[in-house]
Amino acid sequence: MWSRKLLTPVLGLAVIGTGLAPAAQASPPPGAAPRHHAGTCSPSVSLLGFSDALDKTHLDGTAVAGLSALGLTGPGRALALVDNIGTTPARLYDLSLRLGRGGPQVAAKGVTTLKRPDGTAYTGADFDGESLVVERGGRTVLAGSETEPSIRRFRRSDGRQVAELPVPARFRVAPAGEAAANQTFESLAATPDGRTLYAGMEGPLAADSPGPRRIIRYQGRPGGGYTPSAQYAYQTDPSLGLVELVALQDGDLLALERGFTAGVGNTVRIYRASTRGARDVSDVPSLTSAPGAALRKSPLVDLVTCPPSGATAKQPQPNALLDNIEGMALGPRTGGGRRVLYLVSDDNGSSVQTTRVYALAVRL
């Protein structure tokens, strides 16, 4: 979530593309089908399409806004987690999500309020949902909050919390630990077998600043206990934050990096990284003293290179397709040995941002 950062220039951010931000344009009405033209974004990634159907919509008296994490629950179904605004209740949206000829087809079908063990609702005052894992079997979810930070397990049936994972003390927000507010657990991913979790920090710990971000690896079992087993260093591009992870087989990760420059717009890049043979930095006091410890990464795509495909932007963007993308989920296989990769943008409840769902075809 950008919150007040939305209006803060990010100095030194490299923006690739035309070099000039287009004038802000009006968004299509909610639910309008985009003018879609699939096209290549990079040698490994193609845009299949996008949808603004969720933008500025409401369901059961709640605003479908602030969607910061995405998890697939089955064929044609997904969950989206809200990063809470003010004192609105913490909640999950049940989505229908299918890939049609013109790109993703998405609609909000249900909403679940996330509750404390005593049954009272979490709100934006004590829960800032930014990351999500749908556990195997689909009966429970793990939701990461930037507030403390925390990783909690909730039942899907009624949204009640049933467990909480341990978080190493130094990852707590200062003064309890070394993390900066609004720069903690922005990403959470599970391996296909559910036995390994990766929780990624958006920004560096105080002792690591201005260096790499840390990723905590947890070991355990779906629906059961998880304990921290290792930490890895991840170096983002200058002025970008680590906002989402997808766990692949054999220790590989997809990492979503994002930044914002006032008057210019967003930068959104996806990398493939590997933990194979990587150094465990759990006992390293400061990553500034551990050169070469960062995970190896290779670029998959800079979204500014994707065809705009009829997208419009409500504020300056180097490519009208871009917005504040924060959620990412790996979907089914598609033609040519590729996988569908879904992305969702967080509009922060702002009139100048868009809730947009994207579908990419990614060669992995």
Cβ neighbours of residue 212 under 8 Å, at least 6 residues apart? Answer: 204, 233, 234, 235, 236, 287, 293, 294
Gyration radius from the chain CA atoms: 19
- Going by DSSP bridges, is the β-strand pair 296-302/150-155 parallel, antiparallel, or unpaired? unpaired
pLDDT cut 70: percent of the chain above it:
90
- For residue range 5-52, list pLDDT tens digits in order: 333 333 233 332 322 223 333 333 333 333 344 689 999 999 999 999
Q: Give the β-pairing of 296-302 and 325-334.
A: unpaired
- Characterize the bridge pairing of strands 196-201 and 213-220: antiparallel
pLDDT at residue number 13: 30
CB 202 within 8 A of CB 213: yes
Q: What pLDDT is attached to residue 38?
A: 63
Phi-psi region of 309 (alpha: psi -120 to 50; beta: other; left: phi over 0): left
Pairwise CA distance, residues 300 & 330, whole Å? 14
- The helix (run of H) or strand (run of E) holding residue 144 is strand 140-145
Residues 235, 257: contact at Cβ < 8 Å? no
Mean pLDDT of the 90-106 span: 95
Residue 2 has pLDDT above 60, yes or no: no
Nearest one of 355, 297, 343 to 30, comparing CA atoms: 355
Q: How many CB atoms sit inside 10 A of residue 74's CB?
A: 8
**pLDDT, mean of residues 72-79:** 96
Q: Which of 270, 342, 339, 338 is nearest to 299 (CA)?
A: 270
Residues 99, 103, 106: CA angle, nearest 5 degrees: 65
Does pLDDT of 349 surpass 80? yes
Express each pLDDT in 120-178 by its tens digit. Answer: 999 999 999 999 999 998 999 999 999 999 999 999 999 999 999 999 999 999 999 99
Q: Residue 86 and residue 88: Cα distance in Å, rounded? A: 6
pLDDT of residue 335: 81
pLDDT at 147: 94
Asked whether the beta carbons of 229 and 218 are under 8 A apart, the reply is yes
Task: Report CA-CA distances (Å) from 307 to 37, 114, 197, 318, 352.
Answer: 8, 38, 34, 12, 21
- Enter the CATH code of domain 3-363: 2.115.10
Higher pLDDT, 64 or 31: 64
Q: Alpha-carbon distance 47 to 65, whole Å? A: 23
Q: Does the N-terminal peptide bond of residue 149 adopt cis geometry, omega within 30 degrees of 0?
A: yes
As a whole number, mean pLDDT of residues 86-110 equals: 95
pLDDT at 214 > cutoff 50: yes
pLDDT in tens, 293-328: 999 999 999 999 999 999 999 999 999 999 999 999
- Residue 246 above 80 pLDDT? yes
Name the average pLDDT for the chain: 90
Number of H-type helices and E-type strands within the chain: 0, 23
